[in-house]
Amino acid sequence: MNGMFGKDLTDGSIPRHLISFAIPIMIGNLLTTGYSIVNAIWVGKILGGDAVAAVAVCLPVILALVALASGSTMASSILISHRYGAKDHSAIQKIVNNSWALGTVLVLVITALGLFITIPVLKLLGTDSRIINMAAGYLRINIAGFVFMYLSFLVNSILRGIGDTITPMIFMIIGTVINAVLDPLFIIGIGPVPKLGLNGAAVAAQLASAIATVLGLIYINRKYRKQPVNPTKLEFDKQITVLVIKIGLPSFIQQMLLSLSYAFSTAFVNIFGPFATAAYGVAGRIDSLAALPAIAVMMSVSAVTAQNIGAGKPERVKEIFKWGVIINIPVVILITFFCVVFPGPVMRIFVNEVPVINYGIQYLRIVGFAYLLFIFIYVSNGVINGTGKTLIPMLLAFISLCIVRVPIAELLYRTSLGIRGVWFAIAISITITAVCSLSYYFSGKWKKSSIKMGEPELKPAVE
């Protein structure tokens, strides 16, 4: 167990580490996002408006499940990166064992509870009685598949913790391809495959996730058979569990705040009619695509920072920040250029209705400039997350979304600005996030790492 495995990010070229780590993440995320768009087109074209509405009403619950899986497993990834940098393999094994134990409990509780309260939750979300049964079937299948979602997140986070982003990308590609093939088959019903309608889209997604996850587990078990990447037993370690909650819970809350803020913003936009709502929906997809490269760099910065902090090399973090920003600059500037200078053609990729396109052009010319701030926001947040201080980005998200975006949107949409007031509120909140995140990074408070797991086996890396 003392031999090297994974990828050591504590020595050598920092820009090379960041780029080689980020590219597979970006490719995987781009494929997943791209396919979610294609899947929405399948559902809309084949099954119609009711099916689209049923998926839309289930989305908040599904996003909550994603946030829960993402937050808890990201915590495991940061802890593993920290201990990998310190070359403390016995600690990595304890973290992996604890992560599987925690995941087992979480999956059982969430699945049982979710299946039991599906209808009450849908009623609470105001689901129309005409589509509630359709939505319930779709949501139950997704909840039943939470086990595969969680396992895939957990395996990916463990591998990223040891510097391996190629393997997660490969199995994300496998899952996406399988889903793309199965989706229309199960929706329409071809040959021996039954026609399942909207439920078919959910079955296809969960079946693809299950196949990719099982293949990934088999591969990892064989490749890392004698390494602490595989669990040796299910065991709870009080100290590690507390750290997982301390690091993972703020990430979960942050993602939920983003969803909540989007819901509030949509409520303001709805006032201006269905064309405005449709434009905001498209704009949300463009926002996500614009942020993908910067998010990949953030995850890369987070992993490289965690390993170097664990190795007792905090002096390398300044270089990690600098190169993270430099790597972001050309990609983010290019995306911003197209969105601000050619907003019409960008909107027409997604929709054809002229009123929708006009609202979208307005949005991109205001909010598009704020994309430039992604260069700095995601890199500074990556450093902060890498030290285990995920509470800080959560607090910044709360300030940006709840104290700035929603109140300013409420104030400005009533003025002569109209819907542009909502767009300006979004741009202002992104600016506030950038200022606060950079201020915290340059304060140097992140140097007091939150990852302190006891002496002498697990020691704080930065004093």
- The pLDDT tens digits for 201-253 are 889 889 998 998 898 888 888 888 888 888 888 888 888 888 888 888 888 88
Q: Which residue has the tokens 């969960």?
A: 206
Cβ neighbors of 333 (< 8 A, separation 6 or more) are: 372, 375
d(CA 263, CA 409): 13
d(CA 331, CA 294): 8
Contact 18, 320 (CB under 8 A): yes
Query: Which residue type is seen at 200?
Result: G
Per-residue pLDDT tens digits for 17-75: 999 888 998 888 888 777 677 777 777 777 776 777 777 778 778 888 888 888 888 88
d(CA 61, CA 123): 12
d(CA 400, CA 452): 29
- pLDDT-derived band at 449 (thresholds 50, 70, 90) equals low
Helical ranges in 86-131 per DSSP H: 89-116, 118-124
CA 8 to centroid of chain Cα atoms = 24
d(CA 150, CA 32): 16
User: To which H or E segment does residue 141 belong?
Assistant: helix 132-144
Per-residue pLDDT tens digits for 180-214: 888 888 888 887 878 888 888 889 889 998 998 89
Q: What is the pLDDT of residue 49?
A: 66
pTM: 0.81
CA-closest candidate to residue 206, choices 104, 65, 64: 65
